[in-house]
């Protein structure tokens, strides 16, 4: 499908739309080896080679973002009251229709994936696909080996929802890693509550084979690398 050259460049993540326009007008952009100075010129990004400053850019049909969701921000696309994770992205990306893959509660933090690829989101969240999500938690109360066993058998919550067997790994008696393959509403908090304890803090540290980038600070984001994208899709 043909698209404007400035949009192709901004969709690739190389620059904002207005910077892309300036780069094109300045003669820094080549399409199939020929300088193109018209931002409105249309090309099929999947069937041409586009270079900015002689570096090939790769067009992103879909976008995959790793965000360190901070506490106090909603995992939603819009909200009348609270700040959303989408508002932490630059304007160009906000227009791409990204949405969070699964949710982290407002008072939870950590690894949140955002994408505009619905099929991918479904795969990551489907319990049938067995993509592990790992959370680091601290609790009010003392975690025991009995809790580890309860998690390993699966838990039926007070509303009758059945949680599949999950892994609880104790670090200390108030800190643990929890590994889930599904994502029910408040699942970790409710599973811990059914063991008679309360989650104090919760941070998601990995999704499938991908760990939250240690260089990201709360509120920061980056694109998934092509390798990470492939790993997740094949996980
Ligand atoms: N489980 C929870 O209870 N909350 C989260 O934010 C994520 C998993």
Q: Which domains does the chain have, with CATH numbers?
A: 3-56 (3.10.290.10), 64-127+213-234 (3.30.70.580), 132-207 (3.30.70.1560)
Averaged confidence pLDDT in the chain: 93
Do the beta carbons of residue 16 and residue 90 sit within 8 Å? yes
Instruction: Round to whole Å and give the CA distance between 16 and 22.
Output: 10
The pLDDT value given to residue 151: 98
Question: How confident is the model over 136-157, as a mean pLDDT?
Answer: 97
Compute, in angstroms, the gap from residue 109 CA to the centroid of ligand 1.
Answer: 9
Q: Is 189 in the pocket of ligand 1 (CB under 6 A)?
A: yes
User: CA–CA separation, 28 vs 51, rounded Å?
Assistant: 8
Pocket test for ligand 1, best of 71, 108, 183 (most atoms within 8 A of CB): 108
Scan for tokens 């508002």, then name that residue. Answer: 87
Looking at residue 60, what is its pLDDT? 77
Q: Please tell me the distance from the alpha carbon of residue 133 to that of residue 228, in angstroms, as a whole number.
A: 15
Does the beta carbon of 202 sit less than 6 angstroms from any atom of ligand 1?
yes
Asked if residue 32 has pLDDT above 90, the reply is yes
Residue 105 appears among annotated catalytic residues: yes
| Predicted TM-score (pTM) above 0.85 | no
Choose between 209 and 91: higher pLDDT: 209
188 close to ligand 1 (CB < 6 Angstrom) = yes
pLDDT at position 124 over 80? yes
DSSP tag of 154: -
Q: What is the pLDDT of residue 194?
A: 96
Rounded to an integer, the average pLDDT of 105-128 is 91
Q: For 49-75, write each residue's pLDDT tens digit.
A: 999 999 998 777 889 999 999 999 999
């Amino acid at each position: 499908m043909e698209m404007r050259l400035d949009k192709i460049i901004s969709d690739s993540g190389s620059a904002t739309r207005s910077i892309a326009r300036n780069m094109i007008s300045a003669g820094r952009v080549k399409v199939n080896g020929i300088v193109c100075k018209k931002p409105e010129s249309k090309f099929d990004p999947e069937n041409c080679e586009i270079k900015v400053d002689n570096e090939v850019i790769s067009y992103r049909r879909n976008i995959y973002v790793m965000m360190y969701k901070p506490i106090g921000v909603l995992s939603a696309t819009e909200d009348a009251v609270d700040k959303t994770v989408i508002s932490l992205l630059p304007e160009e990306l906000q227009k791409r229709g990204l949405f969070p893959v699964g949710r982290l509660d407002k008072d939870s933090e950590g690894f949140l994936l955002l994408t505009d690829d619905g099929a991918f989101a479904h795969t990551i969240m489907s319990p049938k696909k067995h993509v592990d999500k790992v959370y680091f938690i601290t609790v009010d109360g003392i975690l025991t080996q009995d809790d580890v066993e309860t998690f390993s058998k699966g838990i039926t919550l007070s509303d009758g929802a059945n949680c599949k067997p999950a892994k609880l790994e104790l670090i200390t008696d108030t800190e643990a890693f929890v590994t889930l393959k599904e994502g029910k509403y408040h699942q970790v908090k409710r599973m811990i509550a059914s063991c008679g304890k309360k989650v104090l803090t919760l941070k998601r540290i990995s999704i499938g084979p991908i760990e939250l980038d240690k260089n990201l600070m709360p509120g920061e984001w980056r694109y998934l690398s092509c390798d990470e994208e492939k790993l997740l899709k094949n996980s």
